[in-house]
């Protein structure tokens, strides 16, 4: 009698959304107990096999695959995200894939017995270029996704989403926000308070997909339809409008805010330019506050209440308020820093106190023979070199300092010190430069322990200075 054919069944798989840097485990079991060698293939959205893996059964008869080290090869950093003027997508930072699973057959090939998610599904697994704690198997994407449902063909927001930033501090209810604010900032609207200089570049990134609520699915609102930007000078509104999340603005998918396409790459995350590179701050140079939030599409042909012609009256994301801080006359030339945050996108901070610059020089020399041995008369000119420099390595090194910090700012900057990708923009420069941090530790400081305290950031530019041969 022939041995039974393996019948491979998945027993554990991550959620649709996960972070790359951390455990991404898929588990399988053979229902026929033949103890096969389990096989999986990672398939991209074009159907290409990115990896083919094998795993023998463990003592309990299961096979576990942690594919995080493979996924790391397919997520990257957007090198120009700081320059976002309106919107930009996430083709670099996000990877979509499916898993084919089965067993290794007698010829060493793979016999596939299923696909996760199913081949008939438009759903993929999606990983962001982010990190999670070592003991977290499944990243909870829920706080970062909008959830809405339909009522009389109008969207009803069930849950607002957070931006993909490590700034989770200084949140107040709209009613409690002091200082100038637009009329729509009212009770029930969470406002996160941030700071930037007038000349700083700044972006906020939001997961684009809208989840349908339990009672009635949405037919059109598959994405955030637009991002409202309000500029204030004190209590005066200088500008208030919604940038549509469409291809023409750098976002998407689709050419209209009512586009009903399912979210696909590269539209998983949309980043909003809300700093100096957004021309609005140039057009309104007296701006003292910037408000940013996302909105859904609402069809004005139905009984839906709308603003700006085709958007819901309430935001679908939490609101981020950025106070514009002017330079102090006794400060040093400020340096803005951008770094890869825990979600794979960018966070920012400006260092405005003491700046120290230096150049580390490493010279390689050789001893040159003196004199002219081929001439009629031997002599040694006074300018003839003995020891000659044939190579110099020059590192441009900076040490920059913060203002006095709050406890929240100190915790936020921990993510800068541990980030593997850091850039700086020097005062008055429009270019960002890659740097390598030379600090090897971060020490927690608090007002309780240290009273008034600052942080110092030490770094060298990632590209050496060019120098001539001697």
| pLDDT tier at 388, thresholds 50, 70, 90 | confident
pLDDT tens by residue, 20-73: 999 999 999 999 988 889 999 999 999 999 999 999 999 999 999 999 999 999
Least confident span in 212-221, 254-263, 424-433, 450-459: 212-221
| pLDDT tier at 470, thresholds 50, 70, 90 | low
The vertex-417 CA angle with 406 and 274, nearest 5°, equals 70
Average pLDDT, the chain: 92
Taking residues 266-291, report their average pLDDT: 94
> For residue 106, is pLDDT > 90?
no
Per-residue confidence (pLDDT) for residue 387, from 0 to 100: 82
> Cα separations (Å) of 22 from 92, 269, 321, 441?
19, 20, 32, 22
Domain 8-131 grouped into CATH 3.30.310: no
Per-residue confidence (pLDDT) for residue 452, from 0 to 100: 94
Taking residues 79-97, report their average pLDDT: 96
The alpha carbon of residue 254 and the mean position of all alpha carbons in its chain are separated, in whole angstroms, by: 23
Taking residues 355-378, report their average pLDDT: 86
SS3 state at 175:
helix
Per-residue confidence (pLDDT) for residue 119, from 0 to 100: 63
Regarding predicted confidence, which is higher, 68 or 440? Answer: 68
Strand stretches in 280-386, DSSP E: 289-295, 319-325, 335-340, 346-351, 355-367
| pLDDT tier at 458, thresholds 50, 70, 90 | very high
Regarding predicted confidence, which is higher, 392 or 23? Answer: 23
pLDDT tens by residue, 138-151: 999 999 999 999 88
> For residue 218, is pLDDT > 80?
no
Taking residues 434-456, report their average pLDDT: 93
Q: Count other C-beta atoms under 10 Å from residue 330's C-beta.
A: 6
Closest CA to 436 of 464, 399, 466, 461: 461
> For residue 229, is pLDDT > 70?
yes
Virtual torsion, Cα 295, 229, 168, 21, nearest 10 deg: 70
Taking residues 81-86, report their average pLDDT: 95
Domain coordinates in residue numbering, the chain: 8-131, 142-325, 335-461
Q: State pTM to two decimals.
A: 0.93
Measured CA to CA, the distance from residue 418 to residue 29 in angstroms comes to 39
Per-residue confidence (pLDDT) for residue 395, from 0 to 100: 87
Regarding predicted confidence, which is higher, 468 or 198? Answer: 198
> For residue 340, is pLDDT > 70?
yes
Is residue 173 within 8 A of residue 190, CB to CB? The reply is yes
> For residue 329, is pLDDT > 90?
no
Closest CA to 251 of 265, 236, 228, 271: 271
Both tokens of 370, joined, read 């003196």
Query: Which element (helix H / strand E) includes 282?
Result: helix 279-283
Per-residue confidence (pLDDT) for residue 370, from 0 to 100: 85
pLDDT tens by residue, 243-275: 999 999 999 999 999 998 899 999 999 999 999
| pLDDT tier at 394, thresholds 50, 70, 90 | confident
> For residue 320, is pLDDT > 80?
yes
Phi/psi at 59 (5° precision): -65, -25
Taking residues 76-89, report their average pLDDT: 96
Least confident span in 396-400, 405-409, 462-466: 462-466
Strand stretches in 71-202, DSSP E: 87-88, 94-104, 110-116, 125-131, 146-151, 154-159, 171-173, 190-197
Closest CA to 13 of 34, 31, 27: 27
Closest CA to 232 of 270, 187, 191: 191
The conformational region for residue 343 under phi > 0 = left, psi -120 to 50 = alpha, else beta, is: alpha
Share of the chain above pLDDT 90, in %: 74
Share of the chain above pLDDT 70, in %: 97
Mention every residue, 6+ apart, whose C-beta is less than 8 A from residue 75: 20, 92, 93, 94, 95, 127, 128, 129, 344
Per-residue confidence (pLDDT) for residue 175, from 0 to 100: 95
| pLDDT tier at 208, thresholds 50, 70, 90 | very high
Per-residue confidence (pLDDT) for residue 407, from 0 to 100: 96
pLDDT tens by residue, 349-364: 999 999 999 998 888 8
| pLDDT tier at 114, thresholds 50, 70, 90 | very high
pLDDT tens by residue, 159-184: 999 999 999 999 999 999 999 999 99
| pLDDT tier at 120, thresholds 50, 70, 90 | low
Taking residues 405-434, report their average pLDDT: 95
Is the sign of the CA dihedral 449, 455, 458, 461 positive or negative?
positive
Per-residue confidence (pLDDT) for residue 375, from 0 to 100: 80
């Amino acid at each position: 009698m022939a041995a039974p054919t393996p019948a491979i069944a998945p027993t554990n798989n991550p959620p649709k959304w996960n972070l790359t840097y951390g455990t991404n485990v898929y588990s399988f079991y053979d229902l026929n107990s033949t103890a096969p060698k389990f096989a999986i293939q990672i398939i991209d959205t074009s159907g290409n096999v990115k990896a083919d893996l094998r795993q023998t059964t463990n003592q309990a008869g299961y096979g576990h695959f942690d594919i995080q080290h493979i996924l790391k090869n397919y997520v990257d950093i957007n090198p120009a995200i700081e320059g976002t003027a309106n919107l930009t997508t996430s083709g670099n930072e996000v990877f979509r894939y499916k898993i084919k699973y089965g067993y290794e057959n007698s010829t060493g090939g793979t016999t596939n017995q299923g696909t996760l998610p199913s081949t008939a599904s438009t759903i993929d697994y999606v990983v962001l270029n982010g990190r999670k704690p070592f003991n977290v198997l499944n990243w909870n994407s829920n706080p970062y996704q909008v959830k809405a449902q339909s009522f009389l063909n109008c969207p009803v927001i069930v849950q607002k989403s957070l931006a993909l930033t490590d700034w989770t501090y200084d949140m107040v209810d709209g009613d409690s926000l002091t200082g100038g604010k637009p009329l729509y900032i009212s009770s029930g609207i969470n406002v996160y308070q941030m700071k930037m200089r007038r000349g700083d570049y700044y972006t906020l990134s939001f997961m684009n997909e809208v989840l349908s609520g339990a009672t009635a699915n949405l037919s059109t609102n598959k994405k955030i339809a637009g991002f409202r930007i309000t500029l204030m000078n004190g209590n005066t509104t200088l500008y208030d409008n919604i940038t549509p999340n469409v291809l023409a603005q750098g976002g998407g998918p689709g050419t209209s805010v009512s586009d009903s396409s399912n979210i696909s790459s590269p539209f998983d995350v949309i980043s909003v330019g809300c700093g100096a590179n957004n021309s609005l701050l140039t057009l309104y140079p007296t701006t003292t506050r910037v408000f940013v939030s996302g909105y859904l599409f609402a069809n004005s042909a139905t009984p839906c209440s709308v603003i700006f012609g085709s958007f819901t009256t309430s935001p679908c994301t939490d609101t981020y308020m950025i106070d514009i801080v002017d330079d102090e006359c006794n400060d040093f030339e400020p340096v803005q820093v951008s770094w890869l945050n825990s979600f794979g996108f960018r966070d920012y901070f400006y260092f405005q106190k003491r700046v120290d610059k230096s150049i580390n020089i490493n010279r390689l020399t050789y001893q040159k023979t003196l004199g002219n041995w081929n001439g009629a008369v031997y002599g040694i000119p006074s300018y003839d070199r003995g020891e000659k420099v044939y190579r110099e390595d020059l590192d441009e090194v900076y040490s920059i300092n913060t203002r006095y910090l709050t406890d929240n700012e100190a915790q936020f900057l921990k993510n800068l010190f541990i980030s593997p990708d850091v850039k700086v923009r020097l005062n008055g420069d429009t270019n960002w430069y890659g740097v390598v941090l030379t600090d090897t530790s971060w020490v927690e400081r608090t007002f309780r322990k240290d009273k008034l305290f600052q942080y110092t950031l030490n770094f060298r530019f990632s590209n050496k200075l060019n120098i001539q041969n001697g």
